[in-house]
Amino acid sequence: MTRILASIGAAVLSSLAALGRFVLFALGTVSHLFRPPFYPKELGHSLLQIGYFSLPVVGLTAIFTGGALALQIYAGGARFNAEAVVPQIVAIGMVRELGPVLVGLMIAARVTSSVAAEIATMKVTEQIDALVTLSTHPMKYLTLPRVLAATLVMPVLVGIGDIIGIMGGYLVGTQRLGFNGATYLQNTIDFLEPLDVTSSLVKGAVFGFIAALMGCYYGMNSGRGAMGVGRATKNSVVMAAILILASNFLLTEAFFSA
Amino acid sequence: MITLSNVHKAFGDNKVLRGIDLTVPKGTSTVVIGGSGTGKSILIKCILGLVEPDSGVITVDGVDVTTQPRDAFLARFGMLFQGGALFDSLPVWQNVAFRLLRGSLKRPKAEAREIAIEKLRRVGLAPEVADRFPAELSGGMQKRVSLARAIAAEPEIIFFDEPTTGLDPIMSGVINDLIREIVAEIGATTITITHDMTSVRAIADQVAMLHAGKIRWAGPIGDLDTTDDAYVRQFVSGSPEGPIETLR
């Protein structure tokens, strides 16, 4: 019995220590936002990598999800003669939930993994140590630009994802389900409220922060060798996905609880 | 002058450094030898602050390294890493001029590039190499680029971590000669980590042997072959027989 309690205690302590390290890492990253030197070129590069080059995956994810959502709502709504709500539910579903969450998860898959692998490889090959010896703070040079870029660009990606998702629903609705195009769009616009859009963009910013931060954190704390890089990459994506889903629940609760 | 007094460092149960005492006189080339995994690299990482010692004092020119402003302190150092540690995402010239493109030593881009090309020339690399990426270079060329980066800002103190590991004998000779020439030219204080005895003889003014977490022996290079220390004699001769345990 004592042994079981000891192992539970050790696991709890280890988890709390890991949480503490992560919080310190996050606070350290944010604190560099206000202390020069800054690296605008690195920020620009990260904006391009995380933002512009993620557009295809965001667009494809959103359009197929919007289309499938329209089909599901139509089929489900038909059970109680509510087929006409497809535009409204697609809009609210995409903007409030599916847009930010799916874009967040796709960014976790695409960006978190690549950031973690890149920084972990830099660590394994002593490039991080080299940065320090060249009087350059790794958090300032590597972490801050990526985290800031992801936080700034994710609301834009989510906004684009929302629009493309709604357009996916529109295409299915008008081409497959027989909706009138103008009416579909009018219903969408009429039904969406500013809070829906605001929540979507705020979620995007939070998810971007989480996705990039997890990549940087696990990369910087990677173990040695190829196995260390692989483990850092895997853990970063898993943790980013879990934190995105958990924070999505909390944000939804905060924005829309009655 | 660099001094280490009773420096200890452990990673969990693994006590890597167990009381290092070492003095590196200003303007001299000190080579630290010792078997693989004896903590040679950890030693120089402790001096640079990349690894925090558990106890002990490290001073540079009489001042405790932990009390010095970090940027100004690091600006005095250059370092050649074992694997080169070149930044994959930057072209060669930006690797060499990294320190000259940002921070307190920042210069205009054109001037920094000019200095980088001059340093590349100094290590025997043509200007055309400047715009290539590290992955496009051979191991020997990467080492030379890393050497150029280490000397680009003309630091007072340079560390070389296994500068000839993985290179063929001719390229090793080239790197050794370059290090010797550059050190003489800049007048820098250097510590070189190696277990390549050819490099030791080519580079060293004084030699220190690290064994079991302590400096086992230290002395001028001229005394290396005449010392009675059985550990040093075994290491220098490369014999499997002797007090240094080997796994077979």
Interface of A with B in 196-235 (CB under 8 A): none
Q: Residues A122-142: what's their mean pLDDT?
A: 94
Confirm whether B248 is domain-assigned.
Answer: no
Centre a 10 Å sphere on the Cβ of residue B66 and count the other Cβ atoms it contains: 13
From A47's Cα to the closest Cα of chain B, the distance in A is: 16
Residues of B in contact with A132 (CB under 8 A): 48-50, 74
Cβ-nearest to B103 among A129, A132, A135: A135
Residues of B in contact with A134 (CB under 8 A): 74, 98-99, 149
A135 at B interface, C-beta within 8 A? yes
Confirm whether B195 is domain-assigned.
Answer: yes
Per-position b or e across A14-50, b if 16+ CB within 10 A of its CB: eeeeeeeebeebbeebeebeeeeebbeebbeebbebb
Q: Residues B32-54: what's their mean pLDDT?
A: 91
Computed over every residue of chain A, the mean pLDDT equals: 94
Which pLDDT score is estimated for B244? Answer: 82
Closest Cα in chain B to A127:
B85
Is the pLDDT score of B245 beyond 80? no
Is the pLDDT score of A21 beyond 70? yes
Q: Which of B82, B88, B151 should one mutate to test binding to chain A, selecting the residue with the greatest count of A CBs within 10 A? A: B88
Residues of A in contact with B103 (CB under 8 A): 37, 135-136
Q: How many CA atoms, within 13 angstroms, populate the side-chain half-sphere of residue A21?
A: 12
3-state helix, strand, coil in chain A (%, to 5): 90, 0, 10
Confirm whether B2 is domain-assigned.
Answer: yes
Computed over every residue of chain B, the mean pLDDT equals: 90
Q: Residues A163-190: what's their mean pLDDT?
A: 95
Which pLDDT score is estimated for A104? Answer: 96
Residues of A in contact with B14 (CB under 8 A): none
Which pLDDT score is estimated for A1? Answer: 81
Is the pLDDT score of B247 beyond 70? no
Q: How far apart are the two ends of chain B, measured CA to CA in Å?
A: 41
% of chain A surpassing 90 pLDDT:
91
- Taking the CA atoms of residue A208, residue A214, residue A219 and residue A223 in that order, the dihedral angle to the nearest 10 degrees is -170
Closest Cα in chain A to B100:
A134
Cβ-nearest to B81 among A37, A126, A136: A126
Domain interval for residue B226: 1-70+189-240
Are B87 and A127 an interchain contact pair (Cβ–Cβ within 8 Å)?
yes
CA A255/CA A52 separation, integer angstroms: 29
Interface of A with B in 138-157 (CB under 8 A): none
Cβ-nearest to B102 among A37, A122, A125: A37
Q: Residues B171-191: what's their mean pLDDT?
A: 86
Interface of B with A in 127-166 (CB under 8 A): 149
Alpha helix locations (H) across A82-133?
A: 86-92, 99-107, 113-124, 127-133
The ipTM is 0.88
Confirm whether B232 is domain-assigned.
Answer: yes
Of B170, B122, B169, residue with least CA distance to B150: B122
Cβ-nearest to B85 among A39, A130, A135: A130
Closest Cα in chain A to B85:
A127
Lowest-pLDDT choice from B56-65, B110-119, B157-166, B181-190: B181-190
Residues of A in contact with B149 (CB under 8 A): 134
Which pLDDT score is estimated for A235? Answer: 95
Lowest-pLDDT choice from A13-22, A61-70, A111-120, A151-160: A13-22
Res. B83 pLDDT band, cuts 50 70 90: confident
Of A52, A48, A27, residue with least CA distance to A213: A27
Which pLDDT score is estimated for B248? Answer: 54
**Domain boundaries defined on chain A:** 41-256
Are A133 and B50 an interchain contact pair (Cβ–Cβ within 8 Å)?
yes
Centre a 10 Å sphere on the Cβ of residue A181 and count the other Cβ atoms it contains: 12
pLDDT tens digits along A94-107: 999 999 999 999 99
Are A37 and B78 an interchain contact pair (Cβ–Cβ within 8 Å)?
no
Q: Residues A10-38: what's their mean pLDDT?
A: 92
Closest Cα in chain B to A128:
B85
Interface of A with B in 64-123 (CB under 8 A): 122
Per-position b or e across A127-160, b if 16+ CB within 10 A of its CB: bbbbbbbbbbbbbbbbbbbbbbbbbbbbbbbbbb
3-class state of residue B64 by DSSP: strand
Are B87 and A130 an interchain contact pair (Cβ–Cβ within 8 Å)?
yes
Are B99 and A130 an interchain contact pair (Cβ–Cβ within 8 Å)?
no
A37 at B interface, C-beta within 8 A? yes
Q: Residues A166-186: what's their mean pLDDT?
A: 95
Residues of A in contact with B12 (CB under 8 A): none
A133 at B interface, C-beta within 8 A? yes
Res. A258 pLDDT band, cuts 50 70 90: low
Is the pLDDT score of B140 beyond 60? yes
Confirm whether B220 is domain-assigned.
Answer: yes
Strand partners, B60: B2, B63
Specify the higher pLDDT residue, B236 or A221: A221
Closest Cα in chain B to A125:
B85
Are B50 and A39 an interchain contact pair (Cβ–Cβ within 8 Å)?
no
What is the count of structural domains for chain B?
A: 1
Report the CATH number at residue B41. Answer: 3.40.50.300
Q: Which of A124, A133, A136, A146 should one mutate to test binding to chain B, selecting the residue with the greatest count of B CBs within 10 A? A: A133
CA B120/CA A69 separation, integer angstroms: 59
Tell me which DSSP letter residue B89 carries. T
Confirm whether B137 is domain-assigned.
Answer: no
Which pLDDT score is estimated for B71? Answer: 84
Specify the higher pLDDT residue, A252 or B196: A252
CA B184/CA B188 separation, integer angstroms: 7
From B75's Cα to the closest Cα of chain A, the distance in A is: 6
